[in-house]
Structure 1
Amino acid sequence: MTQTERLPRIGVLANADSWYFHDLERAGRGLASVERLEFSALQSRIGGRESISADSVLSDRFDAVIVRTMPPGSLEQVVFRMDALAALERQGVLIVNRPKSMEMAIDKYLSLSRLAEAGFRVPETHVCQTWQDAMAAFEQLGPSVVVKPIFGGEGRGILRVDDADLAHRVFKTLQQLGQVIYLQKFISHPGANATPEPIPGEVAEVALRAVETLDLTIAGLDFLPDGQGGWYLLE
């Protein structure tokens, strides 16, 4: 590398203990300068050209910013983060995944609706706003359902419910907190296997089509076997 050349500068929005940041940092050694950024540090200064920063101005500091997931936050916080990344993209910084695509990816209802509309096989799912409607859905989808937050990732806030009394308490609490109630029919499966294995060809093909449907560059998809040689795409 000559004195006039420099390594690409890549920012990664991630938590301090993020495994994927450390893996990207390892993979980028000698190829790129990889630095972790905090979502909570994102801020904007408007007056003339808008300045998006996280400790320092991002458009002056990075060639690209990688966004794999969205940490928990209020609706206002999530919307601001997406808007700030969109402003940074308009200033010429490559954002992966693009903010418009991330808006769909982090919204379980919107992404599942789009996938089902495109013909992907997804679990039967009910999304509602009152505990009464949720209980009716529980009776229909039961005897076991999985309750998930619409915004969230990495398994946070997921609960399996297979008891009517527990369902009643959970759904009432979610309504009192002003949360949308998202429940999926539980799909029986043989359990988890932590041993890395090759991805079956048919799953890889479905995964690539799903990524294209959601207009994503980087994605993590959850599949479950149906016990009959087929697969469900969970999210």
Structure 2
Amino acid sequence: MPDTILILSDRADRQVRQLQASLERLGFNILTLHLADIAFDTRFSSGLAIPGLNGALPAGVIVRSISSGSFEAITRRLGILHAFAQMDVPVWNSAKAIERCVDKSTTTFLLAHAGLPTPQTFAVENLANARDVAERELGHGPLVLKPLFGSQGKGLRLIRSVDDLPQPEEVDDIYYLQRYVAHSGPPFCDYRVFTCAGEVLGMMARRADGWITNMAKGAKAEPVIGTVRPLLEGLALAASAAIGTDFAGIDIVPAADGRLLVLEVNSMPAWTGLQSVVPVRIADRIASALAARIAPALDERPAA
């Protein structure tokens, strides 16, 4: 019986279906579950109850999405991913990488600590501290307020004055403020680079009429051409290494002065837009890279 790969997702989106087909072509059985449905259960030798596996462990895990929930719920779900890793089950991406990417302040800290170019960033609690930051920094240009745990361009605000700061209840009393990167537009452009297992699988330019260039907000994907490609590749691979991702979507913005700045590293990236402008089949490459990682992991796993 072929080994089982567990795809963790809260919705059967296009990426999940593509990954399933790619992994099945490699001979794996696929089980798709919500992470919330896996339980810690010490009746089993693994300590986990995984629906459909009768106490067995999967050969590998791909985390496609994790739904929102209370602090306790998210902590428990990430604990499940940590438990898989403890038992030598490859988890892409690992709980550690997901934690680093979901918390934008940690991502920015690690990028800056690695010496990568990233916009000046300030993450503080409570409105008084946010006002102090804004009063000090707005003289150098606008700031962008981002949800600490947000994605797809949701909740972004341009802060031009102290009065633009929202009330604490609107942002859970956490203010993540990043220097707005001035660049030409409209149309505005930035880049998404997709990395996997130490390689760049593809990249796209995202163009939009507004300064928010997420595909979910209506941006258009275009191929990346010219001498910027090797620069983007180097930055993306360095950013992935700094965060510790197995696969990732790295967002890079060109500044008006010609610099390229790393904005974010996404540990659960979609690739529909990217797939429309690159020849490689993203899901096939992820599946092949995970399969290559699984073989030695199975050899190293202790007997049950």
In the superposition, the TM-score normalised over structure 2's length comes to 0.65
Structure 1 residue identity aligned to 2:241? E
Percent of residue pairs bearing the same amino acid type: 23
Give the aligned length: 226
Match of 2:153 among 152, 155, 170: 155
Please report how far the alpha carbon of residue 41 of structure 1 lies from its aligned counterpart in structure 2 after TM superposition. Answer: 1.7
Please report how far the alpha carbon of residue 61 of structure 1 lies from its aligned counterpart in structure 2 after TM superposition. Answer: 5.5
8 Å CA contact retained: 2:46, 2:57: no
Please report how far the alpha carbon of residue 111 of structure 1 lies from its aligned counterpart in structure 2 after TM superposition. Answer: 1.8
Please report how far the alpha carbon of residue 90 of structure 1 lies from its aligned counterpart in structure 2 after TM superposition. Answer: 2.1
Instruction: Indicate how the Cα distance of structure 1 residues 110 and 73 shifts in structure 2: closer, same or farther if over 3 A, else same.
Output: same
Structure 1 residue identity aligned to 2:248? A
For residues 35-83 of structure 1, the C-alpha deviation after alignment (integer angstroms, 9 at most, x for no partner) is 4321332321134635323534486262111125543232222221121
**Stretch deviating more after TM superposition (204-213 or 93-102):** 93-102
8 Å CA contact retained: 1:24, 1:34: no
CA distance in 2, matches of 1:223, 1:147: 17
Instruction: For structure 1, list consecutive stretches of 5 or more residues without a partner in the other structure.
Output: none
Please report how far the alpha carbon of residue 183 of structure 1 lies from its aligned counterpart in structure 2 after TM superposition. Answer: 1.2
Matches within 5 A, 1:29-178: 29-31=24-26, 32-47=28-43, 49-57=45-53, 60=56, 62-142=58-138, 144-167=142-165, 170-174=166-170, 177=172
CA distance in 2, matches of 1:216, 1:124: 23
The equivalent residue for 1:24 is 19
The equivalent residue for 2:4 is 9
Instruction: Indicate how the Cα distance of structure 1 residues 124 and 154 shifts in structure 2: closer, same or farther if over 3 A, else same.
Output: same
For residues 117-157 of structure 1, the C-alpha deviation after alignment (integer angstroms, 9 at most, x for no partner) is 11111111111111011122223343532222223433344
Instruction: Indicate how the Cα distance of structure 1 residues 69 and 152 shifts in structure 2: closer, same or farther if over 3 A, else same.
Output: farther
Structure 2 residue identity aligned to 1:195? A
**Stretch deviating more after TM superposition (79-88 or 32-41):** 32-41
CA distance in 1, matches of 2:149, 2:38: 19
For residues 162-201 of structure 1, the C-alpha deviation after alignment (integer angstroms, 9 at most, x for no partner) is 454341xx143247x4x42211122233324223313711
8 Å CA contact retained: 1:44, 1:84: yes
CA distance in 2, matches of 1:158, 1:40: 28
CA distance in 2, matches of 1:132, 1:83: 34
Q: Which has the higher contact order (CA 8 A, sep 6+)?
A: 2
In the alignment, does 2:216 pair up with 1:220?
no
8 Å CA contact retained: 2:61, 2:90: yes
The equivalent residue for 1:195 is 221
8 Å CA contact retained: 1:171, 1:181: no
SS at structure 2 position matched to 1:208 = helix
In the superposition, the TM-score normalised over structure 1's length comes to 0.82
The equivalent residue for 1:234 is 263
Instruction: For structure 2, list consecutive stretches of 5 or more residues without a partner in the other structure.
Output: 189-205, 208-219, 265-304
